Copies of this chain bind each other. A is one copy, B any other.
Amino acid sequence: MKKFNTSPISGMQELLPAMQYEFNRLKSGILQIYTAHGFQNIETPTIDRTEVLLAKAGGDTEKQIYKVIKTAETSSEADQALRFDHTVPLARYVVEHANDLVFPFKVSQIGRNFRGERAQKGRFREFYQCDVDVIGWQSLPVTYDAEVIVTLIKALRFLPLPEFIVRLSNRKLLSGLLEALNLEHQAAAIFEIVDHAEKVPHEITEKALMELGIGTENVVKITTFIQIKGDPLVVVSKLKDLSYDNATFVEGVAELEEVASTVQALMPEAKVQADMLIVRGLDYYTGTVFETIVPQHPEIGSICSGGRYENLAGYYTEQKLPGVGGSIGLTRLFYVLQSAGYISKNELKPVEICVIPVSHNEIKAAGEIAEKLRTEGKTVDIVLTERKLGDKFKYAARVARYVIVVGENEVETHSYKLRDLETGEETNEAW
């Protein structure tokens, strides 16, 4: 029947209506939770100047960016591209509108971002991210790191997920340790090895560290450190026991303690584990870092992550704007939840009630009944096809759980029967 390839481009999510309904429900629920926690929603344009988007980025990001070109381009137009995350446009937004914002600026962003990655199963080139960030003016207490984590946990709990655990750390700990060991010059390489440590056997990590030529003693100190994990306050006391008096390390311990105890205060039931393996790949982060895993499904990887950045918009302004943020990658998460069977496979019906006027003469009455039911919050479809009653019923059974047939008798008596198509039960109602 097709004359044309009508599939969407690979790497693009395209859902059937019942799944789209579920996706929209989760997306709205997340926004509602963010809003209930005092995060103000904003939306930045999908298209921005390439120089803005790439001010800080480079490497992979630059390779994955989608540039846009108007067919009838004029040379005066700046280079433009699709945003690849929410953080970069947020930096531009905050600097542009600083005078109109209240700081700390608690902000949420839910929208589509774009990365021209190689297409592969479960990877999306267009994807929804649901971000919260708090931006301070000159300073921002680390208690807000806890507020971001708590808000994200609340949002994740709304999703149809099995138990999940937030893994928490602070980049100042490893940085401080390396300063204490006089290994700052190797910091970049060591952070990268630690970031990959979880994906390889322990010996590989040890070998990689040894190859840096930093000496067995230092390798032992680092590998001992990165194996520390557990209840955050127990971890804090273990870290204190290490007795590194280096300022950065001490600050890292204090921040970890404050973030963990504030999360505990705000949400005693939160499952948070301190884990020194978490460093997050990006240099972007400067303090608190976190990831979120689902122990029953390690294959999913982190479903929500984020951290503290000391300067949101250093490329755009001389004003220091420290921030903390985190993000739920909803498109990918929805895909893995669907694959793992957590998204309800119920045939969601498009509407609750379908009203069938027997003939054109009953359209007016059908409209009145539908309006009455919509006022009560119901979703209602009216069958307007000119088919036999049996065919109208077939349609109704596919789109709705309840059906109302409106014929001459119903118009005369101003009453109707609401029929439950699942149980066969009927109730009489007036309008």
Binding site for B on A (CB under 8 A): 1-9, 12-17, 20-21, 24, 28, 35-38, 40-49, 51-52, 55, 62-73, 78, 80, 82, 92-93, 95-98, 100-102, 104, 106-107, 112, 114, 116, 125-126, 141, 143-144, 146-147, 150, 262, 265-268, 315-319, 350-351, 354, 360, 363-364, 367, 374, 378-382, 384-386, 395, 398-399
Contact = CB atoms under 8 A, between A and B. Distances in A.
A43 B20 contact: yes
A266 B45 contact: no
B317 A398 contact: no
A150 to B, nearest CB: 8
Contacts of A3: 315-318
B72 A16 contact: no
A100 B45 CA distance: 33
Contacts of A6: 52, 92-93, 95-96, 316-317
A40 to B, nearest CB: 4
Residue of A45, A92, A95 with most chain B CB atoms under a 10 A cut-off:
A45
Given A9-B80, A43-B15, A143 B364 contact: no
Contacts of A63: 71-72
B48 A8 contact: yes
A280 to B, nearest CB: 23
Contacts of A55: 4
Given A17-B101, A45-B126, A46-B112, 20 more contacts: A1-B317, A1-B318, A2-B95, A2-B317, A4-B52, A6-B317, A8-B48, A14-B96, A21-B40, A36-B374, A37-B374, A38-B354, A65-B71, A66-B69, A106-B350, A141-B385, A146-B384, A262-B384, A265-B363, A268-B364
Contact of A71 (B62, B97, B317, B379): B62
Contacts of A72: 63-64, 116
A265 B71 contact: no
Contact of A9 (B21, B47, B399): B47
B381 A106 contact: yes
B9 A143 contact: no
Contacts of A317: 1-4, 6
A38 B71 contact: no
Nearest to A112: B46
Contacts of A381: 37-38, 106
Given A8-B48, A82-B68, A379-B35, A350 B93 contact: no
A151 to B, nearest CB: 11
A382 to B, nearest CB: 7
Given A14-B93, A96-B7, A367-B265, A24 B46 contact: no
Contacts of A35: 379
A320 to B, nearest CB: 11
Nearest to A35: B379
Contact of A37 (B12, B28, B43, B380): B380
A156 B351 CA distance: 22
21 contacts: A1-B98, A2-B316, A3-B318, A6-B93, A6-B96, A6-B316, A8-B96, A9-B47, A9-B49, A14-B44, A14-B96, A17-B41, A20-B40, A36-B378, A36-B379, A37-B380, A38-B380, A47-B114, A47-B126, A63-B72, A66-B68
Contacts of A101: 16-17
A150 B381 CA distance: 13
Contacts of A107: 17
A15 B93 CA distance: 10
A321 B320 CA distance: 58
A102 B380 CA distance: 16
Nearest to A69: B67
A97 B46 contact: no
Residue of A36, A101, A126 with most chain B CB atoms under a 10 A cut-off:
A36
Contact of A102 (B20, B24, B48, B350): B350
